[in-house]
Amino acid sequence: MSAKGASLKGLLLMALLVSHMLLTKEGVTSLPICPKGSVNCQLSLEELFDRAVKLSHYIHFLSSEIFNEFEERYAQGRGFIAKAVNSCHTASLTTPEDKEQAQQIHHEDLLNLILGVLRSWNDPLIHLASEVQRIKEAPETILSKAVEIEEQNKRLLEGMEKIVGRVHSGEVENDIHTSWDGLPSLQLADEDSRLFAFYNLLHCLRRDSHKIDNYLKVLKCRLIHDNNC
């Protein structure tokens, strides 16, 4: 029952957090909304990109915060940092690693890559939201953020699919994403190992959300503003 109570509290807190976030940060709510199901409603590509960038920025912001909180709460003195020469499950996706590569890659490919990364994170985020609750005395903020990230990630995925539908001229490429097999590590009995698994996952989440945020900004400047943001 405590878990349920905690989840209720978490939901409430999340609702408050979301409303706070949306109001204080660059609110996604300020953008015009296209009602669901309306056929004629056509958001411009610029608006789609604006929303996507705002969402990706928000997700990265949450990821940074949840990582910082987790590190502060659980990682001190455990030497996690030293072990963080890690490989994220999305490492197999060859994404641009510097500015030249990002500028040279074709925007459709880049969009596909973004989609791939987002899809790869669908599953881990769901499990993160559920497993983080089992951490002993997990703070409410971490719980709420985990839930929020998972939700926003879904929204960004939908938005990206819309953008890809608009931008893509040719066939839709195959769905490129990597599967995640880290769930057992999140459920290890040994607390240290389990916390380290969380630490890695959150670290990877922060990195990948930063990547996506950057790629989208580059794409936006390239496609919408013609490299003149």
Partner 1 sequence: DILQWPQISKCRSPEMETFSCFWTAGNFYNLTVPRILQLLYKKSNEEDWKECPDYITSGQNSCYFNASYTSVWTPYCVQLASKNEVYDKKCFSVDEIVLPDPPVHLNWTLLNTSQTGIHGDIQVRWDPPPTADVRKGWITLEYELQYKEVNETKWKELKPRLSTMVPLYSLKTARDYEIRIRSRQRTSEKFGEFSEILYVSFSQIGIGCDHCTEEVEFPWFLVVVFGVCGLAVTVISIMLSKQPRLKMLIFPPVPVPKIKGIDPDLLKKGKLDEVNSILACHDSYKAQLYCDDLWVEFIELDIEDPEEKNRASDTDRLLSEDHLKSDSCLGTKDDDSGRASCCEPDIPETDFSASDTCDATSDSDQFKKATEKEEDLLCLERQDNDESLPNLASTDPQHQHRNIQSENSNVWAPFDGSIESPHLSVHTQISNQNSLTSTDFYAQVSDITPAGRVVLSPGQKSKLGRAQREGCTEQNFTMDNTYFCEADVKKCIAVTSHEENEPCVQEQGYNEDGYFTTESLTTTVANLGASTAAPPSSEMPVADYTSIHIVQSPQGLVLNATALPVPEKEFNVSCGYVSTDQLNKIMP
Q: What is the chain's alpha carbon radius of gyration, rounded to the nearest angstrom?
A: 18
DSSP string, 199-216: HHHHHHHHHHHHHHHHHH
Q: Supply the minimum distance, in Å, between the C-beta of residue 85 and partner 1.
A: 5
φ/ψ region of 181 (left if φ > 0, alpha if ψ in -120 to 50, else beta) reads alpha
- Whole-angstrom distance, CA of residue 18 vs CA of residue 10: 12
Contacts of 47 (CB under 8 A, 6+ apart): 31, 32
Backbone angles phi, psi at 94, to 5 degrees: -85, 100
Residues in the chain: 229
- Stretch of 84-92, 113-121, 147-155, 191-199 contacting partner 1, by CB under 8 A: 84-92
Residue 107 near partner 1 by CB under 8 A: no
Closer by beta carbon to partner 1, 87 or else 174 = 87
Residue 178 near partner 1 by CB under 8 A: no
Backbone angles phi, psi at 153, to 5 degrees: -65, -40
- Stretch of 35-43, 115-123, 178-186, 216-224 contacting partner 1, by CB under 8 A: 216-224
Q: Supply the minimum distance, in Å, between the C-beta of residue 213 and partner 1.
A: 8
Q: Supply the minimum distance, in Å, between the C-beta of residue 220 and partner 1.
A: 6
Residue 64 near partner 1 by CB under 8 A: yes
* Among positions 13, 66, 102, 128, the unique one binding partner 1 when judged by CB under 8 A: 102
# residues near partner 1 by CB under 8 A? 30
Strand ranges for 96-163 from DSSP E: none
- Whole-angstrom distance, CA of residue 65 vs CA of residue 61: 6
Task: Return the half-sphere exposure (C-beta side, CA atoms, 13 A cut-off) of residue 225.
Answer: 12
* Among positions 42, 99, 172, 193, the unique one binding partner 1 when judged by CB under 8 A: 99
Q: Supply the minimum distance, in Å, between the C-beta of residue 217 and partner 1.
A: 4
- Stretch of 53-61, 104-112, 153-161, 191-199 contacting partner 1, by CB under 8 A: 53-61
Query: Which residues of this chain interact with partner 1, rule CB under 8 A?
Result: 57, 60-61, 64, 81-82, 84-87, 95, 97-100, 102-103, 207, 210-211, 213-214, 217-218, 220-222, 227-229
